Chain A
Amino acid sequence: MSDSDIKKGLRTFILTNYLFTDDESALGDDDSFLDNGVLDSMGVLELIDYLTEDLNVEVDGDEVTPDNLDSINKVVQFVTDKTKS
């Protein structure tokens, strides 16, 4: 799966699942999930579920940090790095 496919799928997941909209302008690729109230502690579990089930990426407990999961671009980078390794 290419980076752009990952980003497209992730964007749709974030928009419909957390922001309940199909308006692409509702969230930028670098917008912080935390600062914009997109994710709470329940939401991050759902995101991990999505990464595991839809993208086959296992997320370790110590990887659940804003550095890895706080924006669309950060998540795409995290998934790419995990897939390569």
Chain B
Amino acid sequence: MCGFAGILSQRDKQTNRINQSTLQSMARVIEHRGPDEQGIYIKDNIGLAHRRLSIIDLSTGQQPMLSTDKNISLVFNGEIFNFIELREELVKQGHQFVTHSDTEVIIHMYQRHGEGFVQYLNGQFSIALWDSAQQKLLLIRDRTGICPLFYSFDNDCLLFASEIKALKPALLNGLSMSASSLDQVFTFWAPVSPNTIFENIFEISPGHMMITEPSGSRHVQYWDWSYDAELSTRSEAELTEELTELLIDATRIRLRSDVPVAAYLSGGLDSSTIVALIHKHGGIPLRTFSLNFKDKNLDERDFQDLLTKRFDTDHTRLVVKPEDISDALVDTINHTESPILRSAPIPMGLLSGQVRNEGYKVVLTGEGADEVLGGYDIFKEAKVRQFWAKNVNSAWRPLLLNRLYPYLNLPAGGESAYLKRFFGQALEQPDSLFFSHIPRWTTTAKAKLFFSDEMNAALTAKATDTLTDMLPSKVSNYHPFNRSQYIESKTLMSGYLLSSQGDRMLTKNSIEGRFPFLDHRLIEFANKVPPKYKMRAMNEKYLLKKAMQNYLPDKITHRSKQPYRAPDVNTGANNLTGQQFNEYFSAASIKSLGFFAPKKVELLLKKANSKKPLSTSESQALMGILSTQIIHKNFCNN
């Protein structure tokens, strides 16, 4: 990955807000995204700054890059994986290239196709392209939201950057936190796009571009997850073959790099698939990395050992201790730039540090498989609950519950009134747009118990209403399973998994992640696969398991999904109530920000300190409150 920042003056071409010093400051704070080189370009009413992580065309791919006629200037974060094929086509059409970089291909594609050029790109990218002849700025973000891109209209200027902290040096009035966005975090785990946790700071939504011209700005959606068509006449064998071919090619083009490439290997189906494909088709030595925990309920080392032997990988294990998590928390939050409710991003940030220490810049991972091919428990839960909705007194309930969570130590009597209450939520509305997600969101929202009276008074709309407003009407016509996938891709995946747990935890150590399952060709194919091939009865990612049965050991394709989980926040030495967090939890600090009720926070800390286990919502509240306080102190205090 790289990072960039920029300023466009919308009125005064001679504004003194665009200057070397400000752009230098904006670039400096995102040096971690691109430690190899820096470039700054200022011309009339545009200023661009770029930090480069050199991966392709190490010698001539510097940015900002200008077209040969100097009309187009460009900064770009990410990779265009099909740039070789696009370049060949452009050369045939008479285009002449100065470099061998994917960056220059973007410029020529824009010259050839105009705004529609982005349709041809296969990759992960955020782009700022300035067309000086038309006085037009394009801010573009990839289809699924892998690469971040933020902006703010600040008086007479449009500011934009890969991270919010890079906007701050140019903002006239600093940053302040948004109550409604915090409410969204305490419901969906992330603000609903295009919101961020800060007032007046927005992101370019995945699959969108914002075009700013002298007449104003407009947003264009060039891609979306669509389940309009279905491959209902294809056989299972045909679908399996096509999925396999797409996976092979998606992985192949993601190995394009002028520096060595490694892979994450958790021991689950998704990362194992990527490692198996690299082993068979990649033609490179396999270098793999995994996270490990002392808690055997979280650790997957037996499966990792099986795979590292099978694929003969040079493997590095990072064992994360509970105290490592609390030690790294503040630094992690400075990178997520959003409150988090679980500790899961922290070990991911530690792992990317290990990758960097071993001399690598690029890792392939299995991210996206669950959303694209139907792997999440939430999809299973929805099936079970839909069954319950139709068969209210079925004797099968206990069996179904045990099948749902074989990896959890459920309280004795899996059929307890309390589990019934959880899974029985919204049974009276099986056709609700959010049927699949209501139990998760309700559990998360319990952490709002700690909101102050002032915070509750400031909230004028329900978080779910904000999401409803954002969803296109077509979603209600989708099959319930596809509806769940769509909502998951728009909330947890792009807002949290690819951001707080993805890009931010990779780039903090100057690592680029690549995700074959998020190749848009693969997504478009998978979205047409009938749901019955994604989850066969209660067997998740059925078609992927079929595709991989000749690549992976049976122990991997036959195992039930174990979601990635990190140690809870209040166990042993991993205690968020330690002295180092006193300044964030003090009554004065809580009162000063005003989002949380000091007395309630005090009682929560008391409970956590008593060493009693916290419930899921209490753990989430503790982490959510602390991370919110950290953001306020580190971003909003001038």
Which B residues are CB-close (under 8 A) to A44?
411, 416, 418
Residue of B nearest to A19 (CB): B449
B603 and A21 contact, CB distance less than 8 A: yes
Counting CB contacts under 8 A, is B615 at the interface? yes
Q: Which residues in window 26-84 of A have CB below 8 A to B? A: 34, 37, 39-46, 61, 64-66
B412 pairs with A61, CB closer than 8 A: yes
Give the shortest distance, in Å, between B186 (CB) and chain A (any CB).
14
Closest A residue by C-beta to B417: A66
A22 at the interface (CB under 8 A from B): yes
**Contact call A46/B612, Cβ cutoff below 8 A:** yes
Residues of A within 8 A of B421 (CB): 34, 40
Residue of A nearest to B610 (CB): A17
Partner of A20 from B412, B417, B600 at Cβ < 8 Å: B600
Q: Which residues of B contact A43 (CB under 8 A)?
A: 418, 615
Does B532 count as interface, using CB distance less than 8 angstroms? no
In chain B, what residue has the closest Cβ to A21? B600
Query: Are B607 and A17 touching (Cβ within 8 A)?
Result: yes
Q: Does B564 contact A (CB under 8 A)?
A: no
Q: Is the interface of B mostly helix, strand, loop or mixed?
A: helix
Chain A residues near B601 (CB, 8 Å)?
20
Instruction: For the complex, give the distance between the alpha carbons of A17 and B614 in Å.
Output: 10
Is there a chain A Cβ closer than 8 Å to B117's Cβ? no
**A62 CB to nearest chain B CB (Å):** 8
Chain A residues positioned under 8 Å from B446 (CB to CB): 37, 40
Distance in Å: Cβ of A22 to nearest Cβ of chain B:
7
Is B97 located at the chain interface by the 8 A CB criterion? no
B450 adjacent to chain A (CB < 8 Å): yes
- Identify which of B418, B606, B612 contacts A39 (C-beta below 8 A): B418
Q: Would you give the shortest CB distance from B536 to chain A, in whole angstroms?
A: 29
Q: In the complex, what residue of chain B is closest to A43 when comparing beta carbons?
A: B615
Nearest CB in chain A: distance from B232 CB, A: 41
Q: Which residue of B lies closest to A39 (CB)?
A: B418
List chain B residues, Cβ under 8 A from A65: 417
Contact A41 B600 (CB under 8 A): no
User: For chain B residues 404-422, which have a beta carbon within 8 Å of chain A?
Assistant: 410-413, 416-419, 421-422
B416 is contacted by which of A16, A17, A37, A64 (Cβ under 8 Å)? A64
CB <8 Å contact, A20 and B413: no
Chain B residues near A66 (CB-CB < 8 A): 417
B604 and chain A: residue at smallest CB distance: A20
Question: When chains A and B are docked, how far (Å) is the Cα of A65 from the Cα of B419?
Answer: 12
Top 10 nearest A-B pairs (CB, nearest first) are: A20-B600, A42-B615, A41-B418, A20-B603, A41-B411, A66-B417, A16-B603, A34-B421, A20-B604, A44-B418
Q: Give B contacts to A, CB under 8 Å.
A: 410-413, 416-419, 421-422, 443, 446, 449-450, 599-601, 603-604, 606-607, 612-617
Given contacts A20-B449, A20-B600, A43-B418, 6 further A-B contacts (CB under 8 A): A16-B603, A21-B599, A21-B600, A40-B617, A42-B615, A61-B413
